[in-house]
């Protein structure tokens, strides 16, 4: 059972602000999908290791040598707002 | 036949014999786009002048065969948006590795194909730019999420295309549009520059008119890349060498769990006819079991949405893309901006998946959902390992039905998710899988056959797919669009 408060809480964790009319449909959608996923509950997975990744890869390192990356200008080229070579954002502290 | 209706290997032969030129081929494909794309809408945008890489026609290289690129693969200084409002007008400052390789091979790039926003969907209806239509029946979806790429190839608006596949997004649209679609083994093709949906599942792959073209295109794009630490550093064979018309001695498994309620009778019939064809070519078949199949969709929608919620956290209005402010302040100015940007920028399905993923990763639910999903993923992967001890390949339908109507499933997300029921296991297990046309329904809609093998055995996949294609006529049937 997913309540409107649950949906609001998940939305806030996701940094999404829902309109009232979105709330009801999303609550029902999430409830239906989670209900379907419930079927995993009947499966016993004790002793099974989780698979986070399909290949048996360990940490992959490159040689510790200087490489060319994007220039400051290229990295900032798509910025919505910029100032003095930085990305500019609204006030963080009230 | 018109140039744009030929395959890449036929065109390469024509070029070799001086029967045509790269300019003529490009003009033929471009003409078709101008003629039909207002009806099909396979492209999110295409170049109105020459190819995006102009030098591919000015100084032709080895493969001057025009290609369409899914809108989630970065092309330097060219809009690449994942068909999302939040990335509208975004121009990447670099090329994806596959784009670098296509440019080096001289492949002219036509433009970016339509897709479900961030590849979230199975119908291409979730695009910010509106749906793509299936060239075989324009009242139907082309499948998704790489629906634009599959429709472009089927409608002869591209000779070949690239898509991406996280849970079936290359194979299911290939099946719905009557073309060949390959999801390579996880790690076979670099993901550098592929805008991430679910990083442990995503792979870029070819969508082509036949199996030979698929092998040629995989040769161009595959191989180790230091820019993708998950790309596999193992030898790369020449895949055109595995195009053998011979299935003698091959053992192929048919998983009983895939032939269940919900599988359309005509689809089943076409798959069984394909099995008979391959038997005549020398393959032997046995029924096998993948006992955890019924848990695959649940596992996928835990793992994929969890990874998506994390990957999409980067769209915050700071470094690129959309930025929006609310009319009235709710929290701090910065958090207000984040929330308004994401609420305005993401579509309905994106919000649904981000929230589902956030839920299964959140405190109190992590063990019951995310961790449990990862453990069931292990069981699904082991099912395949067991079958591949005795089988060279597995054959299944690609999708349980043919293309459905536009609007039919858009308000029922769960039924949309179930249309990927046969394709998602290959992503969970990291296996290669191909969809090859294997027939048509009475209504004239294409049906796809899926072949899966063990990881990095694309050679076997190509051999079986090629043998089947050479002994059937299904890739020969073409869409008529006047």
DSSP string, B30-55: HHHHHHHHHHH--EEEE-SSS-SSTH
User: For residue A26, which residues of chain B lie inside 8 Å, CB to CB?
Assistant: 351-352, 355
| C-alpha torsion angle, residues B463, B469, B472, B477 (rounded to 10) | 180
Q: How many domains does chain A have?
A: 1
pLDDT at B474: 85
In a domain, B272, yes or no: no
Q: Are residues B32 and B145 in the same domain?
A: yes
pLDDT of residue A63: 87
Out of B311, B346, B374, pick the residue that ends a domain. B374
Q: Is A18 part of any domain?
A: yes
Within-domain flag for B310 = yes
Residues of B designated catalytic: 70, 145, 169
Cα B173-B179-B183 angle, rounded to 5 deg? 60
**How far, in Å, CA of B56 to CA of B66, rounded?**
9
Q: How many beta-carbon contacts under 8 Å exist across A and B? A: 163
* Integer Cα distance of B292 and B372 in angstroms: 14
The question of ipTM being above 0.85 is answered as: yes
Give which of B78, B89, B227, B355 to mutate to test A binding, by max A Cβ within 10 Å: B355
A55:B429 CB<8 A = no
A9 lies in some domain: yes
Decide if B335 is inside a domain: yes
* B199 and B330 in a common domain: no
The Cα B151–Cα B137 span in angstroms is: 11
Q: Is A1 on the interface with B (CB under 8 A)?
A: no
The number of folded domains in chain B is 2
A61 has pLDDT over 90? no
A79 domain residue, yes or no: no
Same domain for B244 and B299: no
B343 lies in the same domain as B234: no
Check whether residue B91 and residue B7 sit in a common domain. yes
Among B354, B374, B394, residue at a domain's last position: B374
Domain extent, residue B321, equals 294-374
The pLDDT of residue B131: 98
**Per the domain annotation, does B273 fall within a domain?**
no
| B240 shares its domain with B315 | no
| Domain endpoint, select from B347, B374, B401 | B374
DSSP three-state, residue A77: coil
- In Å, how far are A81, B56, B210, B306 from B113, measured between CA atoms? 29, 20, 20, 26
The predicted pLDDT at position B476 comes to 82
Q: Quote the minimal CA–CA distance from B137 to chain A in Å.
A: 30
Domain assignment present for residue A57? The answer is: no
| CA A36 to mean position of chain CA atoms | 22
Residue A88 in domain: no
Please state, in angstroms and as integers, the Cα–Cα distance from residue B65 to each residue in B70, B119, B146, B212, B481, following that order: 16, 26, 20, 14, 22
DSSP string, B274-304: HHHHHHHTT-EEEEE--TTGGGHHHHHHHHH
In DSSP terms, B165 is beta-bridged to: B203
One pLDDT digit (tens) per residue for chain B, 482 residues: 799 999 999 999 999 999 999 999 999 999 999 999 999 999 999 999 899 999 999 999 999 999 999 999 999 999 999 999 999 999 999 999 999 999 999 999 999 999 999 999 999 999 999 999 999 999 999 999 999 999 999 999 999 999 999 999 999 999 999 999 999 999 999 999 999 999 999 999 999 999 999 999 999 999 999 999 999 999 999 999 999 999 999 999 999 999 988 899 999 999 999 999 999 999 999 999 999 999 999 999 999 999 999 999 999 999 999 999 998 877 789 999 999 999 999 999 999 999 999 999 998 899 999 999 999 999 999 999 999 999 999 999 999 999 999 999 998 888 888 889 999 999 999 999 999 999 999 999 999 999 999 999 999 999 999 999 999 988 788 898 87
Q: Do B354 and A91 touch (CB under 8 A)?
A: no
Question: What CATH number is given to the structural domain containing B65?
Answer: 3.90.1300.10
A51 contacts B378? CB cut-off 8 A: yes
Q: What's the CA gap between A34 and A32, in Å, rounded?
A: 6
Whether B104 and B190 share a structural domain: yes
pLDDT value at position B301? 94
From chain B, the residues in CB contact with A91 under 8 A are 332-334
What residue numbers bound the domain in which A11 lies? Answer: 1-42
DSSP code at position B88 = T
B401 Cβ neighbours under 8 A, 6+ residues apart = B264, B267, B419
What is the pLDDT, as a whole number, of residue B170? 98
**Contact with chain B for residue A24, Cβ under 8 A:** no
Residue B67 domain-assigned? yes
Residue A29 at interface with chain B, using a CB cutoff of 8 Å: yes
Residues of chain B contacting residue A79, judged by C-beta atoms under 8 Å apart: 319-320
Same domain, B216 and B314: no
Say how many CA atoms lie within 13 Å of B3 toward its Cβ: 22
Q: What is the pLDDT of residue B37?
A: 98
In a domain, A27, yes or no: yes
Domain membership flag for residue B54: yes
According to DSSP, the residues that pair with B482 across neighbouring strands are: none
A70 falls within a domain: no
Return the pLDDT at B481. Answer: 82
B35 and B91 in one domain? yes
**Burial of A77 from C-beta contacts in 10 A (0-12 / 13-18 / 19+):** middle
| pLDDT at A93 exceeding the cut of 80 | no
Question: Which band of pLDDT confidence, cut at 50, 70 and 90, is reported for residue A94?
Answer: low
Q: Min CA distance, B200 vs chain A (Å)?
A: 5
Which of A26, A40, A70 shows the shortest C-beta gap to B376? A40
In angstroms, the CA B16 to CA B279 distance is 36
- Domain of A1, CATH number, reads 1.10.20.60
Residue pointed to by tokens 């029924």: B287
- Is residue A55 very low, low, confident or very high in pLDDT (cuts 50, 70, 90)? confident
Which residues of chain A lie closer than 8 angstroms to B320, CB-CB? 78-80
**Closest by Cβ to A87, choosing from B319, B322, B376:** B319
In terms of domains, do B234 and B301 share one?
Answer: no
Nearest CA in chain B to A27: B352
B99 occurs within a structural domain: yes
Closest residue by Cα to residue B257 from B121, B394, B389: B394
Q: Are residues B75 and B224 in the same domain?
A: yes
Q: Write the CB contacts of B21 (distance below 8 Å, at least 6 apart in sequence).
A: B15
| Judgement on whether residues B215 and B345 belong to the same structural domain of the protein | no
List the structure tokens of B105: 């091979």
The reply to whether residue B374 touches residue A81, judged by beta carbons under 8 angstroms, is no
pLDDT over threshold 90, residue A59 = no
């Amino acid at each position: 059972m997913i309540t409107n408060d649950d949906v609001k809480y998940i939305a806030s964790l996701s940094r999404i602000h829902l309109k009232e009319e979105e709330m009801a449909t999303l609550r029902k959608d999430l409830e239906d999908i989670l209900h379907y996923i419930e079927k995993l509950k009947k499966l016993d997975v004790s002793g099974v290791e989780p698979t986070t990744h399909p290949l048996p890869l360990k940490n992959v390192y490159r040689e510790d040598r200087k490489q060319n990356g994007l220039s400051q200008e290229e990295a900032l080229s798509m910025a919505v707002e910029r100032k003095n070579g930085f990305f500019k954002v609204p006030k963080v502290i009230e | 036949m018109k140039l744009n209706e030929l395959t890449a290997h036929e065109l390469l032969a024509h070029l070799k014999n001086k029967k045509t030129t790269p300019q003529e081929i490009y003009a033929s494909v471009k003409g078709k786009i101008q003629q039909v794309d207002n009806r099909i809408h396979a492209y999110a945008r295409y170049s109105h002048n020459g190819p995006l890489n102009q030098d591919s026609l000015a100084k032709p290289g080895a493969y001057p065969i025009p290609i369409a690129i899914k809108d989630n693969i970065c092309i330097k200084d060219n809009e690449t948006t994942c068909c999302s409002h939040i990335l509208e007008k975004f121009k990447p400052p670099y090329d994806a590795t596959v784009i670098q390789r296509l440019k080096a091979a001289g492949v002219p790039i036509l433009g970016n194909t339509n897709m479900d926003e961030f590849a979230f969907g199975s119908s291409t209806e979730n695009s910010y730019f509106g749906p793509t239509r299936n060239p075989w029946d324009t009242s139907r979806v082309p499948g998704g999420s790489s629906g634009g790429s599959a429709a472009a190839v089927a409608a002869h608006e591209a000779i070949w295309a690239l898509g991406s596949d996280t849970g079936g997004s290359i194979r299911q649209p290939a099946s719905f549009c009557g073309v060949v679609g390959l999801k390579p083994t996880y790690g076979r093709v670099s993901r550098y520059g592929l805008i991430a949906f679910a990083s442990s599942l995503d792979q870029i792959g070819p969508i082509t008119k036949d199996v030979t073209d698929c092998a040629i295109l995989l040769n161009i794009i595959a191989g180790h890349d230091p820019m993708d630490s998950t790309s596999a550093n193992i030898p790369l064979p020449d895949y055109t060498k595995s195009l053998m018309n011979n299935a003698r001695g091959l053992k192929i498994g048919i998983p009983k769990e895939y032939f269940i309620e919900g599988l359309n009778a005509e689809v089943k019939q076409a798959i069984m006819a394909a099995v008979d064809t391959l038997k005549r070519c020398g393959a032997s078949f046995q029924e096998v079991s993948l006992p955890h199949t019924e848990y695959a969709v649940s596992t996928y929608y835990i793992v994929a949405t969890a990874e998506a919620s994390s990957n999409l956290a980067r769209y915050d209005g700071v470094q690129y893309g959309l930025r929006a402010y609310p009319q009235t302040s709710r929290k701090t100015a910065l958090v207000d901006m984040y929330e308004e940007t994401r609420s305005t920028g993401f579509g309905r399905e994106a919000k649904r998946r981000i929230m589902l993923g956030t839920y299964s990763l959140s405190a109190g639910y992590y063990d019951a959902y995310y961790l449990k999903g990862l453990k069931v993923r292990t069981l699904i992967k082991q099912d395949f390992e067991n079958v591949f001890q005795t089988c060279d390949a597995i054959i299944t339908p690609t999708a349980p039905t043919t293309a459905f109507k536009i609007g039919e499933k858009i308000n029922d997300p769960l039924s949309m998710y179930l249309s990927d029921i046969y394709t998602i296991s290959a992503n969970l297990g990291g296996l290669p899988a191909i969809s090859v046309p294997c027939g048509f329904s009475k209504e004239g809609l294409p049906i796809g056959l899926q072949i899966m093998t063990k990881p990095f055995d694309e050679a076997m996949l190509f051999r079986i797919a090629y043998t089947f294609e050479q002994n059937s006529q299904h890739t020969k049937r073409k869409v008529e669009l006047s």
